[in-house]
Amino acid sequence: MRFLALPVVAALMATSAEAINKDAPPRVDPTLTEGWLWKNLLKSSEIAAFDGSCEAVKQFKMYEYSLHELMEPAPRGLKQWAGGLKKLFSQREYPGGWSGYDRHGYDRAVLRMDYTDIPLAVREWIEEQERTGGPGKGYFGVFEKPKSDDDDVDDVVAVPSASEVDRSQDENRVAIFAPGVIYHTLPLWAAEDSECKDDLLDLTKYKPEIAEGNVVGWAEHKSPGFDNKAEFKVTARALKAKAKGAEEKEAKSAEGKEEL
């Protein structure tokens, strides 16, 4: 199903009352997004076989909306960017909500973050996908902030070549995206201050299976309040084998506990 199904696209251009009360389709039970790969391997018993020292945790703040709130003015909605979102998201599949679940139609979640609140590694990934037409193209809509309450932003920011990017402009921009894209880029969100930064920055190591050399991770979130403010936490771990001495020490410790 497209990010914005046809009835939802029409609702983007309708009034808020029409979108919520008149044209909204019946609710559908959440389903796991087709082709979803990711799962919370950090809770697997198999993870204990690996060194836990190379784990990174980062927390972020954002605004969270459902699609029926799109025509509300910011910060309660995304009205100023509605035209741009219609053009951007109506042409691609919805990449999933939290934990990969799709709540369908008007209940689909959409996040907004100031662009500077997104780690640089993620911003660089976003821009490279747009620049090269990679598989992540269109996952994030990067828009200018409105200059006034009446200002509408109808187009995403044009991405220049890597050598011409002006980071001073990032503070004037926002990114709007579905929660599911966080899982596609998850290690990048936690890499910056990690002791195993190089491992986390290498997305070829990020895989949905527990094995030495892989990177695994998960994102958890707190539901938004009345003001649409919410938070999410990203945990990523590079799987490295435990040193032999550490394994023997743990085994002896376990034996001692059994004897007690």
Model confidence pLDDT, tens digit, residues 63-98: 999 888 888 888 888 999 998 988 888 877 889 999
Give the model's pLDDT for residue 235.
98
What does the longest C-alpha to C-alpha distance in the chain come to?
72
Mean pLDDT, residues 31-58 taken together: 94
Residues near 132 by beta carbon (within 8 Å), at least 6 away in sequence: none
Give the model's pLDDT for residue 9.
46
259: pLDDT strictly greater than 60: no
Mean pLDDT, residues 41-56 taken together: 93
Confidence label for 12 from pLDDT (cuts 50, 70 and 90): very low
Give the model's pLDDT for residue 104.
85
Cα–Cα distance measured from residue 241 to residue 239, given in angstroms and rounded to the nearest whole number: 7
CA proximity to 175, closest of 218, 211, 139, 214? 139
Query: Average pLDDT, whole number, for the chain?
Result: 86
Cα–Cα distance measured from residue 20 to residue 241, given in angstroms and rounded to the nearest whole number: 53
Confidence label for 13 from pLDDT (cuts 50, 70 and 90): very low
DSSP the chain: -BSS-HHHHHHHTS-HHIIIIISPPPP---EEPTT-----GGGSGGGGGEESSSEEEEEEEEEEEEGGGTTSPTTTS-GGGHHHHHHHHTTSB---SGGGEE--GGG-EEEEEEGGGS-HHHHHHHHHHHHHT-TTTTSEEEEEPPSSTT----SPPPP--GGG--GGGGGGEEEEE-THHHHHTHHHHH-TT-TTHHHHH-GGGB-SS--TT-EEEEEEEEPP-TT-EEEEEEEEEE-EEPPHHHHHHHHHHHHHHHH-
Give the model's pLDDT for residue 21.
46
| pLDDT (tens digit per residue) in 137-175 | 999 999 999 988 889 999 999 999 999 999 999 999 999
Model pTM score = 0.84
